[in-house]
Amino acid sequence: MSNSNDNRVERLSKSNGPKSPEVWGIYDPPTGSAQYVVACPTTKKCALVDIVQGFDPKSFATDKIAFDQIVALVEREGYKVEWVLDTHPHADHLTASSLLAQHYNVPNAIGAKTRKIAELWRDYYNEPDGLKVDEHYAHLFNHGDTFTIGELDVQVMLSTGHTLGSISYVVGDDCALVHDTLMQPDRGTSRCDFPGGSASELWDSIQAIFALGDDVRLFIGHDYTNDERQEPQWEATISEHLASNIHVKSGTDRGEWIAKREKRDATLPLPDRMLAALQVNLCAGKLPAREDDGNHYLKMPVNRF
């Protein structure tokens, strides 16, 4: 099934058996983000992964368009939400983690090294007592941690490079949600120039992901359409990446890739939502407390980037 409402495409990647999840990808056009509902085919229990809280960088107004779309999909498919998961603190959109965890009364989670990312950003925002990740996420996963979605086993992989705390979720026997490591094979790999990022670590993370096995479906964090391909995509197998990823296919030289990645990243502007997003996303999508006039206010570092 595919639904296009203002290009908010929904697409199902079907289960290949009892140890293979159903994975709905939901595209958010304003940010180019791929969001996921990952469900156990036997129990219909599911996890919500990297869900967007809408944010207009011009007006600083938030919205719940993506939130409402996810809630409608869960209800339509008869799923029962068990987890709300983030792969990392996003720089290009606000997360809906806390909104969804409260809505479904379920735990939310992110990687444990997000604490280290918060340490960096406390300095940028001059908030020495703020951004307390543990107060906003119920679970902080370490590399190798495991949990379940229904009857599906999930393993957490540390996948640093894009950020120093990014994690991937390996679900069942043929699925991995690998966020901002890879793009689609025709787009290559993701940037790694944010504070705490590392091209060499991103290379190593990608190679660890490729070692999961040729038939594993990889679900990425972003896709950006253009005149060459107007339909958003977010899924490819490891064998497809090894055969045709324009940056890291089989035979790619590590040193050459790192040099090209760093040269390319040096030309990229900051995401237009980044300075708003990090102070919100390190608090699981919660806005700063209302001030005495009843409004929320964000803090922006000037001349720091």
Indicate whether 4 pLDDT > 50: no
Q: Considering the domain delimited by 2-269, tell me its CATH architecture.
A: 4-Layer Sandwich (3.60)
Sheet of 152-158: strand order equals 146-149, 152-158, 167-171, 175-179, 217-220, 235-237
Does pLDDT of 5 surpass 50?
no
> Is pLDDT at 244 greater than 80 in this prediction?
yes
The better pLDDT of the pair 229, 122 is held by: 122
> Hey, which residues does 48 pair with through a beta bridge?
37, 84
Confidence of residue 265 (pLDDT cuts 50, 70, 90): very high
Task: Output the pTM of the full model.
Answer: 0.95
Write phi, then psi, for 295 (nearest 5 degrees): -110, 160
What mean pLDDT, rounded, does the chain reach? Answer: 95
In 3D space, the residue among 243, 263, 262 whose CA is nearest the CA of residue 251 turns out to be 243
**Average of pLDDT values for 267-271?**
93
Q: Which pLDDT value is given to residue 229?
A: 85
Give one DSSP letter per residue of 73-90, joined into a string: HHHHHT-EEEEEE-SS--
Query: What is the mean predicted confidence (pLDDT) over 229-234?
Result: 92
CB 189 within 8 A of CB 249: no
Dist. CA 278–CA 75, nearest whole Å: 30
CA distance 281 to 62: 13
38-64 burial, b for 16+ CB within 10 Å, e for fewer? bbbbeeebbbbbbbbbbbeeeeeebee
The domain ranges of the chain are: 2-269
> Can you list the alpha helix ranges (DSSP code H) found in the chain?
65-77, 97-104, 114-125, 199-210, 238-244, 254-265, 274-281
Beta bridge partners of 100: none
Distance CA 276, CA 288 (A): 11
Q: Is residue 58 pLDDT above 90, yes or no? A: yes
- How far apart CA 167 and CA 239 sit, in angstroms, is 21
**Which pLDDT score is estimated for 6?**
57
Contact 262, 226 (CB under 8 A): no
| 235-264 mean pLDDT | 97
**Mean pLDDT (whole number) for 177-196:** 96
User: For tokens 């902080």, what's the residue?
Assistant: 140
